[in-house]
Amino acid sequence: MADRVLVAGAGPVGLVAAAALAAEGIPVTILEAERDLPDDLRASTFHPPTLDMLERFGVVADLIAQGLVCPTWQFRDRRQGAIATFDMSLLKDDTNHPYRLQCEQWRLTRLLRDRLAAHPEVAFRYGCRAAEVRQDDDRVFLTVVNEEGEEEVLEGRFLIGADGARSAVRKSVGIGFEGMTIPELYLTLSTPYPFHEAIPDLASIAYISDPEEWLVLLRTRSLWRVLLPTDPNEPEDHMLSDGRIEERMQQVHPQAGRYEIVHRTAYRVHERVAETYALGRVFLAGDSAHINNPLGGMGMNGGIHDAINLAGKLVQVWRGAELSLMQRYSRQRRKVALEVVQQQALRNRQLLNQRDPKLRAEHLESMRAIAEDPRRHREHLLKTSMIHSLREAEAVP
């Protein structure tokens, strides 16, 4: 049983890593703290290269069937309306999927779990929380705790910490997680209200800038998601109350009836990157390694790109390559997190909430100019859809 890879966390990143290893015949044990896969509403955007990567697991047709294919996305101004509409079909020579797919992340984890459950080399343990890690030159020893509080030590050749932003694996091996906390809270609301009928030129993904209150509108197959920045000093019971939410939704788009709200969550957002993604036989991927604001949908996508890179190298190490190969995984993916994802997510936030009227006008003009120039339009799409960051990472030695 010790000759296997332990994966802590059955989120999208842990399951993609596990699927990639299992596909190469490497035995994997997946440890999930919850009794079942979490199904809360989190990421819902799949970028083109992520869909290209997921193709090998045979899940993309199902994701598309359960999601919404979005060939365009928009940058808007709350008062002026559409500023720039980006057409992802310009990426047709760069990807098999020249669109963004809107589909909840829990749909991916369920599809992967169903495929992995049938695999003879894959074991799932639910209600099993990774707590403490030790390692020597050949083995990793992971103490896990079950729901009754009973401890057990599992052994593996390697451990992947895909156990989310509060990663016990990262903490236990003492990897730092420096960065900052964004001052505002992010409130996410979902409604069946048909914004696409009420605002006829609205794309299914719209970043809407405003000096007082920017917002994001995202359409999934059955709902619209509304993301609003929120004052952290507002008491949570008020912020999430029916009356306050109705008031804010009417400001987003006034309508005669009341808004039906099917989900509501407020969460704190951080910008942090782990000081290394590889320490001996322990590797970090996904939110355990980096977290950023959700503007641009890069958290889950970047995490899946980590998982594919990590698993590709770990297969080589499993078959005899030097363990130091995993340091290249760390260098490549940390560079993307620090220099691309974090910078782009911060820039997206600045673009949306710019208060200075002159800078605002310049930003809007620059977005218009990018969309109107076919070369710059395509380059912008290569960056925002994360294709560019994958190409840059390949150049890292």
Ligand X SMILES: Cc1cc2nc3c(=O)[nH]c(=O)nc-3n(C[C@H](O)[C@H](O)[C@H](O)COP(=O)(O)OP(=O)(O)OC[C@H]3O[C@@H](n4cnc5c(N)ncnc54)[C@H](O)[C@@H]3O)c2cc1C
Contacts with ligand X, residue ranges (CB under 6 A): 8-14, 31-34, 38, 42-43, 45, 105, 129-130, 162-164, 168, 188, 265, 267, 286-287, 294, 297, 299-300, 303
| Both tokens assigned to 299 | 């958290």
Q: Which is nearer to ligand X, 74 or 167 (CB)?
A: 167
Contact 102, 68 (CB under 8 A): yes
Q: Which is nearer to ligand X, 48 or 303 (CB)?
A: 303
Identity of the residue, 177 or 378, whose beta carbon is nearer to ligand X in the bound complex? 177
Please identify, using beta-carbon distances, which residue of 141 and 368 lies nearer to ligand X. 141
Q: How far is the CB of 349 from ligand X (least distance, A)?
A: 13
DSSP 172: H
* CA dihedral sign of residues 150, 155, 160, 161: positive
Rounded to whole angstroms, the Cα distance separating 106 from 152 reads: 28
Q: Which is nearer to ligand X, 12 or 49 (CB)?
A: 12
Alpha-carbon span 138 to 346, nearest angstrom: 41
* C-beta neighbour count of 64 within 10 angstroms: 16
Min separation Cβ 88 and ligand X, Å = 17
**Residue 275 or 373 with smaller CB distance to ligand X:** 275
Q: Write the Ramachandran bin of 2: left for phi over 0, alpha for psi from -120 to 50, otherwise beta.
A: alpha
What is the DSSP annotation of 99-166?
SEEE--HHHHHHHHHHHHHT-TTEEEEESEEEEEEEE-SS-EEEEEEETT--EEEEEESEEEE---TT
Strands 5-8 and 158-161: parallel
Three-class SS state of 221: coil
Q: Residue 98 or 164: which CB sits closer to ligand X? A: 164
| Shortest Cβ 190–ligand X spacing (Å) | 10
**Least distance (Å) between residue 186 CB and ligand X:** 8
**Distance in Å, CB of 267 to ligand X, minimum:** 4
Q: Tell me, what amino acid is at 376?
A: R
What angle do helix axes 299-318 and 387-394 make, rounded to 10 degrees?
Answer: 30
309-324: b or e for each residue (b if 16 or more CB lie within 10 Å)? bbbebbbebbeeeeee
Question: What is the smallest separation between the CB atom of 205 and ligand X, expressed in angstroms?
Answer: 11
Give whichever of 49 and 299 is closer to ligand X, judged by the CB atom.
Answer: 299
> Closer CB to ligand X, residue 31 or residue 83?
31
133 CB neighbour count, 10 Å cutoff: 24
Provide the minimum distance between the beta carbon of 98 and ligand X in the complex, in angstroms, as a whole number: 20
User: Could you give the 3-state DSSP secondary structure of residue 377?
Assistant: helix
Give me the numbers of helices (H) and strands (E) for the chain, helices first please: 14, 20
Least distance to ligand X from the beta carbon of 276, Å?
Answer: 17
Least separation in angstroms between CB 285 and ligand X = 7
